[in-house]
Amino acid sequence: MPDSLPVVIAGAGPTGLMCALALRKQGIPVVLCEAEPALTHDLRAGSFHPPTLEMMAPYGITAKMHETGLKVQRWQIRNRPGDLVAEFDLDLLKDITPYPYRLHLEQHRLTPIQLDILKRNKDVEINFGHTLKSFTQDADGVTVTFGTGGADRTIKASWLIGADGGRSAVRKGLDVEFEGFTWPELFVVVSTPYDFAQHGFAFNCYIADPVEWGALFKVPDDGAPGLWRLAYPVNPEESEEALLSPDRIESALQRLVPKAGPYEVRYKSTYRVHQRVASSFRAGRVLLAGDAAHLNNPLGGFGLNSGIHDAINLSDKLARHWHGESEALLDLYSRQRRAATIEQVQAMSIRNKQTMEERDPAVQRARLEELVAIAADPVKAREHLLNTSMISGLKRANEVT
């Protein structure tokens, strides 16, 4: 007998919204609850890989994203002197994907698109200002209690999906370990309208340096000329006030590209970076997805993408069970997505960071020269792009039984 109670989703970020859209497309009633009073304004994520664009296309999301997003066909790995540049052209994948590029669009521009499409659906209830307080489960469902407006509200659900971010209240309520570590350094993110393309930088660049590596990419902002975002590591023992002081920010930008006059800075912030994976993405009738299930450093642009991949995989298997197939499909979701996270997202993002920050200049140069050689060989470059675009990893993970 199919479940009849709604699926409750905690978290209205990209992953939670994608779960809601995918479940509704397959006829499943949904209650979406978000602790914040409105969609959040996240400035970190914003690079979408080809398979992610393919997954979101049937919902009308990808087409809407293209109205303002930036197509990034080429991306680079370069060293701080700039004499070594490995440039990869995603056009090498045009025979296997309709989106042979990365699409840059800030996360806070994606979620309104998702929410607008979701609001057109019937049998979906959307609640902001609902903070998850507790939940209990049995063989028949999950009883979830939210705090809202000074009162408690209890919802009976068939399943609970925790898509409520890295500090997930859902995950903390489970007997699930969040295995991994936190990188020792803090990261600073700075946004400026200055055009780095005139200095040869692609719209997505990773800059290796033994002292201060960095990641630079361009996002559309509210229109021309767009914004370039630079992320770089800093000493966590210093105060945020010192790290974000105008002089320190200006110095970091001038080290990247010296120029006459100061840089215009639109945004600046600090954040910590983690490499963690939940020991299981399922505990009974409770499921984890996105940052609630895994966290990684930003080098490679895998985090937000993998959350969307979780949502599509989970929604497909939950819908199949809802319509009569075995509940074991939900265990398969956990195995497949944990495999993709550990073997692809974690491994590649850690390796990328280690390459960028290598302290031995000779070792770092040897690694970069190898990447330059790979980029110059179409066969090897294609294989590299299949991995870094998450295509190969997805295929391997989806073959897990």
Q: pLDDT tens across 136-180, in order?
A: 999 999 999 999 999 999 999 999 999 999 999 999 999 899 999
The domain in which residue 145 lies consists of 7-69+105-179+274-355
Tokens read off for 163: 């898509």
Tokens read off for 63: 């087409």
- Cα angle 392, 49, 94 (rounded to 5 degrees) comes to 70
Residue 66 has pLDDT above 90, yes or no: yes
Decide if 77 is inside a domain.
no
The domain spanning residue 286 has which CATH number? 3.50.50.60
DSSP state of 69: P
Size of the chain, expressed as the number of residues it contains: 401
Residue 384 has pLDDT above 70, yes or no: yes
User: What is the per-residue pLDDT across 77-122, written as a single tens digit (0 to 9) for each?
Assistant: 999 888 988 999 999 999 999 999 999 999 999 999 999 999 998 8
Q: Which residue has the tokens 């500090």?
A: 167
Residue 370 has pLDDT above 90, yes or no: yes
Of 3 and 25, the structure prediction assigns the larger pLDDT to: 25
Decide if 328 is inside a domain.
yes
pLDDT at 109 (0 to 100): 95
Judged by average pLDDT, the poorest of 32-41, 90-99, 137-146, 348-357 is: 348-357
Query: Are the C-beta atoms of residues 160 and 8 closer than 8 Å to each other?
Result: yes
Q: How far apart are CA 180 and CA 199, in angstroms?
A: 38
Residue 1 has pLDDT above 50, yes or no: no
Q: How confident is the model at residue 32 (pLDDT cuts 50, 70, 90)?
A: very high
pLDDT at 175 (0 to 100): 87
User: What is the per-residue pLDDT across 190-243, written as a single tens digit (0 to 9) for each?
Assistant: 999 999 999 999 999 999 998 889 999 999 988 888 999 999 999 999 999 999
Decide if 395 is inside a domain.
no
User: What is the per-residue pLDDT across 279-329, written as a single tens digit (0 to 9) for each?
Assistant: 999 999 999 999 999 999 988 889 999 999 999 999 999 999 999 999 999
Over range 19-35, report the average pLDDT: 97
Of 62 and 43, the structure prediction assigns the larger pLDDT to: 62
Decide if 248 is inside a domain.
no
Decide if 226 is inside a domain.
no
pLDDT at 123 (0 to 100): 86
Instruction: Enter the pTM of the model.
Output: 0.95
End-to-end CA distance of the chain: 25
pLDDT at 43 (0 to 100): 72
pLDDT at 3 (0 to 100): 58
Structural domain count of the chain = 1
Instruction: Compute and round to an integer the Cα radius of gyration of the chain.
Output: 21
Over range 354-368, report the average pLDDT: 91
Decide if 39 is inside a domain.
yes
105, 234, 309, 310 from 166: Cα distances, Å? 21, 21, 17, 15
Decide if 323 is inside a domain.
yes
Query: Are the C-beta atoms of residues 139 and 99 closer than 8 Å to each other?
Result: no
Tokens read off for 345: 């997202």
